[in-house]
Amino acid sequence: MNYEKLNFLVVDDVPAMCQITANQLRALGALDVHTAGNGADALRLLQSRPIDLVLSDWNMPLMDGLALLRHIRADARLAHIPMVMVTADADRERIAQAIGSGVSDLLVKPYTRQRLEDKIAGALSRRVRAPGTAPPEAARQAAGTAAAAPQPTLLVVDDTPENLRLIADLFEGQYRVRVAHNGPKALAMCTSDNPPDLVLLDVMMPGMDGFEVAQRLREHPASAHIPIIFVTALTDEAARRRGLTLGAVDFVSKPVDPDILQLRVHNFMRYIAVHLQRQAEYDALLETARLREDVERMLRHDIKGPLAGVLGMAQQLAQQLDGAPASASASAASPAHQAQLIAATAQQALDTVRLSADLFMIETGTFQLVAEPVDLSALLHKVAHATGAACAGSGVSIAVDAPASAGHAHADGTLCQAIFHNLVKNACEAAAAAPDGQVRITLHDAMPLTVTVENSGAVPPAIRERFFERYASYGKTGGSGIGTYSARLLAKAQGGSIAMATDDAHNRTTLTVALPRAAIPL
């Protein structure tokens, strides 16, 4: 990511922390970093200059980070700006408030430069979240299913090989143990993109002693937060005071008592493990909120077509029953037949509503497929009929080649209905912009069962690589870019697949859906 062209705003009431964060951003390549001491000052700055991302502390005077977030999301001129909240708060209710207020991401103190970079990159690449309600049941579910935090890393620094082996062996299997035999190597490891969580640091080393290593660590933004336990033969008060001044959290005397060393490291690692788990839980809370929003967006996308079809056919039927002049398309079918179409389309809308729960479970990995034989031939004719009625007047012709003898899919009928409704509707929209305006649906008697949806019009090159990605859309007013994404999601959930091929020479696009075939009854 090119940070040079981005404008950042860091908000923190502690000047030293504000400067450290600004330095971390500059180390990533940022050139334009602004700072503010509280939310009120930050809001005034946001209203006076362009900002691409806000990185804000939570607890501040005058206006805290949550109030700043709510002001940003409520202002139409600022609502598009992603905001990452930095916090050490352990109150999940407050975290739920931030999620409900539209926070882009949460970063738990203290954090590494790599974690900061990951959060910024994610916030800049995702759609800005609109304020909404963070359901408490979703928060409880996410907290209970959060991914396990990574195993903490311990760095042992000593110039004596025997001491390195002794201490490393004490903690092997309990933590990820790394070793360094001198100060420069320890500095390089601590300022890398994968720094340790705790350093056991010898004091008496040639060239660069432990005190100098600690001083250099505190001066570097990537390692300033790393806790240090000094392991030393020095017992005088002046040495202890100097170590504490450099940020040491403990001292262990040489010769090392293995039991005492293990107890002290374990006690501090408990704190580190809680911190890492808290970040994992907050990530899970936020991801659950994002998934719920995506499912609701998919639902709104998928339900508009069926309901529009209900409305259009109901209006035509009302005209006929009232004796009003009917259009050619309306007179082509009897009122009774149109009433049947209304019922079928309304059923499709209800099935789409039921899909919301299934989509959420698929995204969160909790979906359990209940598969049964699905008559794809009948389903495809039904989808073509309903889509053709909804697209009447567009000039698009839909042809279906789906012999009943082709066999049944081993799948979920509602999920299959949603897949082909999305694909055929998208195909009709694309074909409407092409000169010949044709859509052809073919059911192939194969293993697995295969359905191709072919339409006039080639997918634009700019979107081909991202065709099945979430929010991928191109040149379509109001397009959400989730129709093909949800179709692939539903196909995979049933053990199937979906692929797209484009023929520029003939200006055509073909989508191929493969689904498991149901066993033939004996």
How far apart CA 169 and CA 156 sit, in angstroms, is 11
pLDDT at position 147 is 53
Which residue type occupies 203? Answer: V
pLDDT at position 339 is 67
**339 CB contacts (<8 Å, ≥6 apart)?**
317
Beta strand 176-180 with 409-411: parallel, antiparallel or unpaired?
A: unpaired
How far apart CA 211 and CA 162 sit, in angstroms, is 21
User: For residue 356, how far is the Cα from the chain centroid?
Assistant: 18
| Topology classification of domain 153-276 | Rossmann fold (3.40.50)
Residue whose structure tokens are 């009897």: 334
Beta strand 438-444 with 449-456: parallel, antiparallel or unpaired?
A: antiparallel
Per-residue CA distances from 56 to 30, 103, 403 (Å): 17, 11, 61
Short-list 242, 267, 262, CA closest to 252: 262
Q: Count Cβ neighbours within 10 Å for each residue of 39-74 and write b for 16 or more, e otherwise.
A: bbbbbebbeeeebbbbbbbbebeebbbbbbbbbbbe
Residue spans per domain, the chain: 3-132, 153-276, 291-515
Helix locations, 328-457, DSSP H: 328-331, 335-364, 376-390, 413-432
- Residues facing residue 36 across a β-bridge: 11
Per-residue CA distances from 150 to 108, 120, 173, 177 (Å): 15, 20, 13, 13
Architecture in CATH of 291-515: 2-Layer Sandwich (3.30)
Per-residue CA distances from 168 to 146, 173, 214, 420 (Å): 30, 10, 20, 58
The tens place of each residue's pLDDT in the chain, 522 residues long, gives: 788 889 999 999 988 888 888 888 998 889 999 999 999 999 999 999 999 999 999 989 889 999 999 999 888 789 899 999 988 766 777 888 888 888 999 988 878 777 888 899 888 887 777 665 444 444 444 444 445 567 889 999 999 998 898 888 999 888 999 999 999 999 999 988 788 989 999 988 999 999 999 999 888 877 877 889 998 887 778 888 888 888 788 888 888 888 888 888 988 888 777 777 777 778 877 777 776 666 666 666 666 667 667 766 766 776 676 654 544 444 445 676 666 667 666 666 666 666 776 776 776 567 889 999 999 999 999 899 888 877 777 789 999 999 988 889 999 998 998 899 889 988 998 898 888 889 999 999 999 999 999 999 999 888 888 888 765 555 554 444 567 888 998 999 999 999 999 999 999 999 999 999 998 654
- Topology agreement, domain 153-276 and domain 291-515: no
Q: Is the dihedral of CA 472, 478, 484, 485 positive or negative?
A: positive
pLDDT at position 304 is 62
- Class of domain 3-132 as given by CATH: alpha beta
How far apart CA 223 and CA 187 sit, in angstroms, is 9
How far apart CA 167 and CA 497 sit, in angstroms, is 52
